[in-house]
Structure 1
Amino acid sequence: MSKRRNEFPQRESRQSSIFGDEDDEEYLENAKKYILEHGINPPKPRHLKGRAIGMWHSKMSKLRKSLFLENASQEEKLFDNAMGDISLTRAQKSEIKSVLEGLPDKAACSSDSYNNIEDSEFKKKFLENINGKLEDRIGKMEVEQQNAYLDQTLFEELEQKLTEEEYIEMLERRSSLPCNKMKEKIIELVETHPVVLISGETGCGKTTQVPQFLLDHFIEQKRGSLCKIVCTQPRRISAISVAERVAEERAEALGWSTGYQIRLEKVSPRNRGSMIFCTTGVVLRQMQVDPCLSEYTHIIIDEIHERDIQSDFLITLLKQVIAKRKDLRVILMSATLNAETFSEYFDNCPHLNIPGFTYQVKEYFLEDVLLRTRYNFEEYATLRQARGQTLKVREFISLIEPHIKKLKEENAYDQYVYDQLRSPLSENLDLSLIYSLLLYICHSEEDNGAVLIFLPGFAEISALHKLITTSDDFPSWKYLVIPLHSQMPTIQQKEVFHKPPYGVRKIIISTNIAETSITIDDVVFVIDCGMMKVKSYDKYSNSESLECKWVSKANASQRKGRAGRVKPGVCFHLISKARYEMLETYTLPEILRIRLENVILTAKILQLGKIEDFFAKLMNSPDPSVVSTSLELLKRLEALDDNESLTPLGYHLAKLPLSPQIGKMLLFGALFNCLEPILNIAVVLDYRDPFVLPVGREKEADKKRRELADRCTSDHIFMHNLIKDFEILNDHEREQKAFCWEFFLSWGTMKQLCQLKQEFMQNLEELGFVPNTKPNCKQCNCNSKNIDLIRAVICAGLYPNIVIRSAQGAQGRRPISALHLLNGKRVEFHPKSILAKQNLPFPLLVYYNLVKSKSMYIHDATPVDPLHLIFFGDNFDQLTERGQQFITINSLKFRCTQGSSGVIKALKNKLNNFLEYQISHPNVVDLRKRNEASTLFKTIIEVLKGNGMSNYPYNSNEWSNYIEPNGLIQGTYVNQDGYLVLSYIA
């Protein structure tokens, strides 16, 4: 770049502008020569400042556009808004016509009657679903009858336990819990009311004791055979840990009176006289088969204050069920909850509160922390921030000044504390403040109990961990510092439960995973930063966002409750008492901050009628515009028809425990016989990225990830290759763990992904699309090495999530590309994407995860060919302009050679017809055989090769010659000469 700068004259005057000077024409002539020679903007004049820089860029963009149009061919000028060229040879067109003539038309599905679907078990269940209602099915299931012999057996077993020393010891421990004092009242309320609310502070014992109270009461009354309790938990780790704790308290192994069930894992208890702990999603899936939950007598929904969508969904359904099932008892439990709201929802049902912690926990706020630590917020930084965030600072001042005035009247603190409280920086997340408080606790507090620090996310955990472990104040022989985050290795997570050696203090730095999911008994001190990361759906950008927000009062109470499990505790909230009073009481319900496609499909498979009517029955109804967006996507995926009823495809997607886009991709993987690669991609998108983030080794982990990717140009195919490499080491656990250790992978997560493949295969087998549950079965994988087809199937599932990549210029020798969605919004690859640091000129890509945090980030992407979009996109249309044929897919426009558009349309229609038939007549497609399906699919597969990615120019200098002139980039294509041409939104 330095050489190029010397070639272009710089203005010497620092005051003059390049615009409006008498030598303007000379400057522009030099600029034209530079652009024509190098294909990029000339170096910016060094003297430009402020607004003049923007004016210069605008002028250069217009100059580039004019030069592009002057030098383009007449054809390019006329059709520069086309996304790409679609060309079929004469032989291809002849062959396709021949194939189409030899194939009969399959009768298209009619949503009016579906009479064209041949009689089958699928047709029977499908028609029952779309024509029935949930209330008609409730009450038709038979409820278990009492068994006198089993009643006596369970009674004698419990009597025998009362003579066993281990069980007696456990009863004594349980008797000390606050919950035990209200045992008789709990049993009485549950016996006499269909719905009961029970609230109690963390540590009172409600989660572990209430199910046991109810079960033991039935057994003691010799009615044990009539009792089966299900207790739902919002998280997998909670369901397992609570079940293990309850089994331990009953002095028995899991699988006797106590069990658990989560996705991919299950330990069943005995059939009757038992209790099972499970995730809420498990119960919802059981309701698809048995909507009245006739297997259970008691349903306990725990942690309802979190207002997750599945709990809200289940509560709404149970309100309908208890109207039909008079014997069913529903118990709603939470550490903190808005009792009046839930009570009113269930017609003023009774509410029982269990007061008190196991031990007292003293609560302090920022004022108290400043008094103890004498921490100082820098004044210069405060003033600088005040200028940049005027509105925010004004809001802060209006909040804090009345509070300080009140404190002064009470003579609560000294002037130093008041001065520090006035700093706007006191509202920021300050790791140095946390460090100072930790130092105070470790040096001033007599108790040597563990310290639990709550932070919003991994970045903050990593930074604080580094700050502590590199400090002389916290030597490793005296302090054990453990980070805790969902993406950290399981071994590292389990460390938090172990007691450290004598004389060593344990310091845990965690996200809100430690708020309710797990209990660490030896925590005495809690430091609550007052913030957490909240995932929500942004209807304006149609993306999910992950933002750092204030916790709710319910969250703060839960965090406080982590202390004082075995002795009195202390909780420091790093927010002022004034800010605490302004916090929301509860976190916004999840139904108001998520995408709704999965919720809608679940509602449809449960036969809940019009979705707006069902949402109106929820405690909080979602935004109508978000509902409309989700309904529109489901219709575009052909999961719902215009009447909002499930289509055959929608029925299958609702049966799969996946998002509809991943589910569709999986079904197409089976139909096109490239199933295992799609399975591998689906499990990662549905479950989680298996890479872990070891604190302090982030750069090394990123390097290893890219080394493993080995210049792969698709995040999805990279995940397929990763699981394939792991499975090659099957039955060699030591080698698998060594592989995971080298590349910073979670061995546990990798094993879970492999198990998840088996679950999806079982789902597909139940639906009738695969012959067995082997992911690598030959019938389903004859095309599994066809990368073009795999990319096409990925496109079929992830459509309409399209991103367009185009050249923006160059920085030194490194080309810069821009990513835009179809609506023109600018996005970026997330740093974890293997495409983030690559500069490959793939114009069209599809993605699954779009998350808004610091920027709009695409977490995963795969490049696709225009033909992939044409065959699997919607709103297909043909048009002719000035003798040239075009195909349009929504806002995307592709130029065709003469006669190609008609052939492609006929082939696309035939494919849609066959896919519709296969979906409504589930069976195993084996493309190795010679039949109608294989003939058509093989023709399609050959066409889907398209131009092939190998035909895109890899030399970035070539495609940087055509640069977006002015406005939003709509698309790019490679013309016959190998140049990347842009089209743009006017």
Structure 2
Amino acid sequence: MSVVAGATPGGSKSQWRGRRAGGPGRGCAGGRVGGGGSGRSRGGEQGWWDPVWRAEKLKQLQAEGPKEEVLDENEWWAKLEKLKVALDQQEVVIKRNFGRNGADILEDLHTGLRRSRWEQATPQGQTLSGVDKEKLNVELRDNQRQLKASGAVKALELFRKKLPAFQMKSELLEAVENNQVIVVSGETGCGKTAQLPQFVLEEEIEAGRDSECNIICTQPRRISATSVAARIRLEAKRSAQTRLLFCTTGVLLRRLVQEPDLNGVSHIMVDEIHERNMNEDFLLIIFRDLLPRRPDLRLVLISATVNAELFSRYFGGAPTKHIPGFTHPVKELFLEDVLELAHFPVGSDQGGYNGHGGRRRKAQEKVQDPVLEAFEGINIDLEYRNYSRGTQQSLQAKIVLSTNIAETSITIDDVVHVIDCGKAKETSYDTLNKLTCSTPTWISKASANHRRGRAGRVQPGVCYHVYPRLVYDSKLRYQLSEMLRTPLQELCLQIKSLQQDSIVSFLSKALEPPEVLAVQNAIDLLKAIGAWTRKEDLTPLGCHLAKLPVDPKVGKMLLMEAVFQCLGPALTIAAGLAQRDPFVLPLEHKEEADETPTIFCCFCWENFLSSNTLQMMDDMHRQFQNLLSDISFLDDSKGLLIYNQNSQDLEMVRAVLCAGLFPSVVQCKLRGKRTAFLTKEDGKVEPHPAFVNTRVNSFSRPWLVYGRKVKTDAIYVLDSTDVSDYVLLMFGGNLTTSKNEQGIEMLDGYHQFKASKKTLHLVQELRRQLDLLLDIKLKDPQFDTHQEGKLVITAVLELLQSDGKEEGGCNWGTGGDHYRR
């Protein structure tokens, strides 16, 4: 039985979930609020971007919605107790507004109810290993048979039998039983993801082996894991009695660190392996080494493409099973076909050029779009309101805008038309220049076929490929593995946490091994941030970073913010670096939106901010805080105030940023009336035009630390902040004395600092004491640095505030006012 709280315009958790699925919501930047037909503003144009219109619409929705009711816990617990024995009722829809707190209470009541069923079979205080397993297996088998005899489950079984996977149930179960590894491929919607785990679990219960059954199904993304679990109506929480767990691949990898042999796990199912994500490829290496040690473990690889032979060969010729999916015919139209149907002029451009002086210039001819011409002068919104209600309902359509996640991970049953742009945003990594770019790239033929297949789920459909057939024919057959096109530092940390000796030799066992230079770049970076020793062993810092499922730079920033008591702002910055840019760009207000980041920082409605991205950043903020608590860097019993004592100290915040982002440092040098920005790897760079620092005429500090850099027509740094000499000296790389002993150096001499011998000695000694204090803290997270190392912390804070002023213009770094732009 599952409980679903009704979504009404109030503000509970369940209501917010409903809004994310397309209902009315607050701050829906980038879409209509409520989806009504009254979204008009000045000049009769669509007004979703208008903050005044959005605010008025939200007030209207809140006024029309029902008031929050007070939830009576005893009343609802009694109702749920009565329903738990009603086998013919699987879902209860509660169409009442109990607010956010009420929704949380209902969820807890439901979870407690589900757990109480297990407690009947497992006495309180007794673990599963302490009960009569044979008796438990019999009870569970009887419960399953009783459940299958109920009317609701019989109706569900009729639906399951229509799925192509059900027709191969016996064959699939036999293959799982007789082989340690099998590869299952099948078209989207055939039932391989949701049904195969249920087949195995039901078979184990029926065979009396449930007490020994423990199935883990991995998904590449959290939304995929939760959506599949919801389809099977599982609980949202894991308990000791859980027999079927859906989780992300990252969750399983972190479990492998604690349980290298996965004792107690009987089946592993890795879904979506065709996507070739880094974590999935990493898992394949681990399992190929693990399976000989665990002959009782069964591994099922699930792919939505027919390249199963690639994975079969990797596991020594493992058997493959293909589930033929049923899809209705889908008509494919490429760009030339669409233009021809629209009577849009298509042909040679040769006559459209005029030659003059050896140059060809296109003649400017205005060609009217036939679709726009047909509706020119018609007020669509007014015409729609004049229709009868029945006609209005018949004209309503569902339009889904999606990333490539909808290719295989999320299923929308009633899609009939698919518009395929032919591209996806993909990360690529330049190993020579150490540059990471996230740019739209052409998808593979396999991805294009997946997109096409979405149109034929319920009836014949049409797929419009918005690119020529020639482009399709020239595409790669399958997408390039993520391991071959992204930085590897986070992966290297995970490999080391699994007690592997050589990173290079471990990755050489991959399905498609990455370049040696890419591996060496990752090793060099981990050494630079202090996560690895010269012998490539994990330092105390590296051990903590390996436990944090984030980029190592962001992870180091999280640790430093907890140590130096500026938790709040640094958590927000880390969450911002981990998410996409929250600013949106309405085409009609491009200039106004360009000015927004530098002028306003208040409400997303008024400032062209994506409410969804801000919500994800808020969620990430809380997740980071929980991660720090899990590794004992935060003590929840002390409250958060003690960890925010330096949150108002901007120099301390800059120092934490530098500690995390180093060695991503830019040196600012005065060249005439302008400032040149230089890095060790790239030479000249520039602040990105879309970010605020490109408009700063002068910086009060001689260095910039940055989060990312991209290469287009030039090399640009993004997410940059200026920092002082002392920040870099205290929180940057290792300091070494220069050859002439008149200065100190960083990054093998690329950054040089000069001062009096007395000042140099004091700075190096303070840095040594600070590193010693941090090393103790990293080895013992409960060590109180501000109590035990009060003198050192106070000296560092005072030094950061002085910014070298006591030197009377001391020539640190390249010194002077060189950093004016």
Using structure 1 for the length normalisation, give the TM-score. 0.63
Aligned counterpart, 2:698: 840
Corresponding residue for residue 653 of structure 1: 545
Task: Assess, with a 3 A threshold, how the Cα gap between structure 1 residues 793 and 366 changes in structure 2: closer, same or farther.
Answer: closer
Query: After superposition, where does 1:860-939 map in structure 2 within 5 Å?
Result: 860-879=719-738, 885-890=742-747, 891-897=750-756, 899-927=758-786, 929=787, 931=788, 933-939=789-795
**Aligned ranges 1:283-682 → 2 under 5 Å:** 283-377=252-346, 379-380=348-349, 475=380, 501-682=393-574
Residues in 2 aligned to 1:775 and 1:695: alpha-carbon distance in whole angstroms: 45
Partner residue, 1:233? 219
Q: Using the alignment, how far apart are the partners of 2:355 and 2:243 within structure 1?
A: 61
- Asked if the contact 1:844/1:865 (under 8 Å) is kept, the reply is yes
Q: Any residues of structure 2 matched to 1:763-782 within 5 Å, and which?
A: 763-772=627-636, 776-778=640-642, 780-782=643-645
Is the CA contact 1:673–1:925 (under 8 Å) kept in the aligned structure 2? no
Helix, strand or coil at the partner of 2:605: helix
Task: Name 1:943's counterpart in structure 2.
Answer: 799
Q: Distance in 1 between matches of 2:351 and 2:742?
A: 62
Alpha-carbon deviation of 1:796?
A: 1.5
Aligned residue in 1 for 2:61: none
1:791 has 2:654 as partner: yes
- Give 1:176's aligned residue: 162
CA offsets 1:288-324 (integer angstroms, 9 cap, x no match): 1112223432211111111000011112111222212
Amino acid at match of 1:945: Q
Cα distance in 1 for residues equivalent to 2:180 and 2:383: 54
Q: CA deviation at 1:367?
A: 5.0
Corresponding residue SS for 2:412: coil
In 2, distance between residues paired with 1:819 and 1:381?
45
Secondary structure at the counterpart of residue 797 of structure 1? helix
Matched to 1:876, the amino acid is L
Contact 2:725 2:813 (8 Å CA) reproduced: no
- Secondary structure of the 1:310 match is helix
Larger deviation: 757-766 or 854-863? 757-766
SS at match of 1:561: helix
Residues 639, 898 of structure 1: alpha-carbon distance in 2 compared, 3 angstrom cutoff? closer
Distance 1:614 1:145, change over 3 A: farther
Letter in 2 for 1:861: S
After TM superposition, give the deviation of residue 235 of structure 1 in Å: 1.6
Amino acid at match of 1:925: D
Aligned equivalents of 2:374 and 2:793: distance in 1?
A: 60
Secondary structure, aligned partner of 2:156: helix
Task: Tell me what 2:578 maps to.
Answer: 686
Relative distance call for 1:583 and 1:380 in structure 2 (3 A) is closer
1:553–1:746 distance in 2 versus 1, CA, 3 Å: same
Identity among equivalent pairs (%):
38
4+ residue segments displaced more than 6 Å? 142-146, 381-387, 467-474, 477-480, 948-953
In the alignment, is the contact (CA less than 8 A) between 2:572 and 2:621 conserved in 1?
yes
- Give, in angstroms, the shift of residue 801 of structure 1: 0.3
Higher mean C-alpha deviation, range 831-840 or range 315-324? 831-840
Q: Residues 335 and 766 (structure 1 numbering): CA distance in 2 closer, same or farther, change over 3 Å?
A: closer
- Separation in structure 1 between the aligned mates of residue 131 and residue 295 of structure 2, nearest angstrom: 15
The question of whether the paired residues in 2 share the 8 Å contact of 1:512 and 1:532 is answered with yes
Partner of 2:147: 161
Cα deviation for residue 336 of structure 1 reads: 0.6
Provide closer, same or farther for how the CA distance between residues 742 and 371 of structure 1 changes in structure 2, counting only shifts above 3 A: closer
1:335 CA displacement: 1.2
Distance of aligned partners of 1:647 and 1:554 in 2 relative to their CA distance in 1, 3 Å threshold: same
Deviation at 1:934, TM superposition (A): 0.9
| Residue of structure 2 in register with 1:192 after alignment | 178
With over 3 angstroms needed to count, the CA separation of the structure-2 counterparts of 1:905 and 1:380, relative to structure 1, is same
The reply on whether 1:279 has 2:248 as its aligned counterpart is: yes
Shift of residue 949, structure 1, vs aligned partner? 10
Secondary structure in 2 aligned to 1:353?
Answer: strand
Alpha-carbon contact 1:524-1:569 (below 8 Å) kept: yes
Conservation of the 8 A alpha-carbon contact between 1:196 and 1:351: yes
In structure 1, C-alpha distance between the alignment counterparts of 2:326 and 2:254, rounded to whole Å: 35
Change (3 A) 1:479 1:610: farther
Contact 1:974 1:981 (C-alpha < 8 Å) held by counterparts: no
Q: In the alignment, is the contact (CA less than 8 A) between 1:195 and 1:350 conserved in 2? A: yes
In 2, are the aligned partners of 1:197 and 1:343 still within 8 Å (CA)?
yes
Q: 1:648-706: per-residue Cα shift (whole Å, max 9, x none)?
A: 22111112222222222222222223333322222222344444556755555544433
Matched, 1:202 2:59: no
What is the CA distance between 1:271 and its match in structure 2? 4.2
Q: 1:566 to 1:375 in 2, by over 3 A?
A: same
The letter of the residue matching 1:941 is L
Q: Deviations over 1:728-776 (max 9, x none)?
A: xxxxxxxxxxx44344445555455444444434433443333327772
Query: Once the 2 structures are TM-superposed, how far is the Cα of residue 605 of structure 1 from its aligned partner?
Result: 0.6
Report the CA distance shift for 1:700/1:513 in structure 2 as closer, same or farther (over 3 A).
farther
Residue 394 of structure 1 corresponds to which residue in structure 2? none
SS in 1 for 2:472: helix
1:730 corresponding residue in structure 2: none
The corresponding residue for 1:819 is 677
User: Do 2:668 and 2:818's aligned partners in 1 also have CA atoms closer than 8 Å?
Assistant: no
| Paired position in structure 2 for 1:216 | 202
Would you say the 8 A contact 1:846–1:864 is kept in 2?
yes
Contact map agreement 1:226 1:272 (CA 8 A) in 2: no
Question: Using the alignment, how far apart are the partners of 1:980 and 1:502 within structure 2?
Answer: 64
Q: Distance in 1 between matches of 2:247 and 2:794?
A: 45
Q: Give the drift of 1:177.
A: 1.7
User: How many residues of Structure 1 are paired with residues of Structure 2 in the alignment?
Assistant: 676
TM-score, normalised relative to structure 2: 0.75
Is this contact kept in 2: 1:866–1:946, CA < 8 A?
no
User: Is the 1:788–1:948 contact (alpha carbons within 8 Å) kept by the matching residues of 2?
Assistant: no
Aligned-partner SS, 2:269: strand
Per-residue CA distance 1:67-105 (angstroms, 9 max, x = gap): xxxxxxxxxxxxxxxxxxxxxxxxxxxxxxxxxxxxxxx
Q: 1:268 aligns with which of 218, 221, 237?
A: 237
- 1:741 to 2:605 alignment: yes
How far 1:946 sits from its partner (Å)?
4.2
Structure number with larger C-alpha Rg: 1
Could you give the per-residue CA deviations for residues 22-41 of structure 1, whole angstroms, max 9, x where no partner exists?
xxxxxxxxxxxxxxxxxxxx
Distance 1:948 1:789, change over 3 A: farther
> Unaligned 5+ residue runs, structure 1?
1-141, 248-253, 256-266, 391-423, 425-431, 440-466, 481-498, 710-721, 723-738, 811-815, 954-970
Kindly indicate whether the alpha-carbon contact (under 8 Å) linking 1:771 and 1:924 is maintained by their aligned counterparts in 2.
no
Distance 2:243 2:585 in 1: 40
Q: How far did residue 839 of structure 1 move?
A: 2.5
Q: Deviations over 1:487-521 (max 9, x none)?
A: xxxxxxxxxxxx99322334444432332332222
Query: Post-superposition shift, 1:575?
Result: 4.0
- What is the alpha-carbon root mean square deviation over aligned residues? 3.7
Given that 2:669 and 2:818 are in contact with CA atoms closer than 8 Å, whether structure 1 keeps it comes out as no
**Change in 2 beyond 3 A, CA 1:344/1:145:** farther
What SS does the corresponding residue of 1:894 show, helix, strand or coil?
strand
